[in-house]
Amino acid sequence: MSFYRKFGPITQLQYITIVEFFLKDRLPMAMAPKVQLVLKNSCLLGEGPHWDDRTNTLLLVDHKSRAVLRWNPVTDDLKTTIVEDPTVGCVVPRKTGGLVVAAEHRFAFLDEETGKMQTIQECHTEFPAVIFNDGKCDPAGRFWAGSLTPNPDPDNPPPNDGALYCLSTDHTMDLKVDQVCISNGLSWSPDKRTMYYCDSFKYTIDAYDYDVDTGNISNMQEVVKFDRMTDGIPDGHTVDVDGNLWVAMFSTGQIIKVDPRTGTKLEYLKISDTVLKTTSVCFGGPNLDELYVTSARNDPLKGRQDMSGCTFKVTELGTKGLPANVYEG
């Protein structure tokens, strides 16, 4: 029986109180890192952070505002590029220069100065409401991105009309996983043999055997299961040098560190009392030991102290990430 059916409708404040009640017994496990606000209320729906180590800048998107953002942590400059499409799901740098996005229904090259887009492949689907969401490049430089039918209500999830696609370096596109509800996080293990994938309303992280030479995936296995009330809804994630996953939990405002080899939830990190919708994470900084966290706005906002929609930097985690992959096509 769902929480809604058992207790009836609740307010967002009541939901926060209930979640905090369930989480309080886990506090002894909590980490003691430093959480710093770096981009204040920058997004309606921040997503897809990517550390560009060529420029030492952070790339991310505001899905609902059609915006690709580039932030320089040294100068604190924020550059905003508005794309042509109604939504933008994710962005990655291209090895030869420029950016590539998965936006609305297509993969496209993006001119960061003008916002002009050049279509590489269009996602031909019989479901016009389906749009691209989160994505990332694999170790061979292919660009993977998944789609969804927008619907934020876990009690009434959209149909499984989404999918996961892969844009190869020769610009061909392949369907990799179909019948997806809410396509979200992607990560690859440090040894490049495993791909981790999240269809959010399954409340799991799934692992696939991954062939770096061909891009083939096989032998899907569930590696960790999340509890909707106490953990939240799994969204974007990244992997550290030790092979652990850092998973943003949409609806509880926390990051959970997971060992995907055992399914063990190792540590919990609460970002802010006013941030419910943590959306994605990436490691960045000169030493790749800073964890950047994106978020989405609360609805309604919780007053002047509401930090939802902000981007955060977390340090003193005792680990570091791997260099982010770029599109090789």
265 conformational bin, left if phi > 0, alpha if psi -120 to 50, beta if neither: beta
Catalytically annotated residue among 62, 235, 289, 306? 235
User: What span, in angstroms and rounded, lies between the C-alpha atoms of 40 and 252?
Assistant: 19
The secondary structure of 121-181 as a DSSP string is EE---S-TT-EEEEEEE-TTS-EEEEEE-----TTSPPPS-EEEEEE-TTS-EEEEEEEES
Which residue from 256, 211, 213, 259 is spatially nearest to 237, judged by alpha carbons?
Answer: 256
What tokens appear for 264 in the block? 């063990």
SS (H, E, C) 193-232: CEEEEEEHHHCEEEEEEECCCCCCEEEEEEEEECCCCCCC
What count of Cα atoms within 13 Å lies in the side-chain half-sphere of residue 286? 2
What is the length of the chain?
Answer: 329
134 assigned to active site: no
**Residue holding tokens 């794309």?**
83
Straight-line distance from the first to the last Cα atom of the chain, in angstroms, rounded to the nearest whole number: 48
User: What span, in angstroms and rounded, lies between the C-alpha atoms of 63 and 186?
Assistant: 17
Which residue from 218, 135, 208 is spatially nearest to 173, judged by alpha carbons?
Answer: 135
- Backbone torsions φ then ψ of 32, nearest 5 degrees: -125, 55
What tokens appear for 192 in the block? 């490049």
Which residue from 295, 329, 327, 328 is spatially nearest to 311, judged by alpha carbons?
Answer: 295
- The sign of the dihedral angle between the CA atoms of 277, 280, 283, 286 is negative
- Backbone torsions φ then ψ of 39, nearest 5 degrees: -130, 110
Annotated catalytic sites, by residue? 235
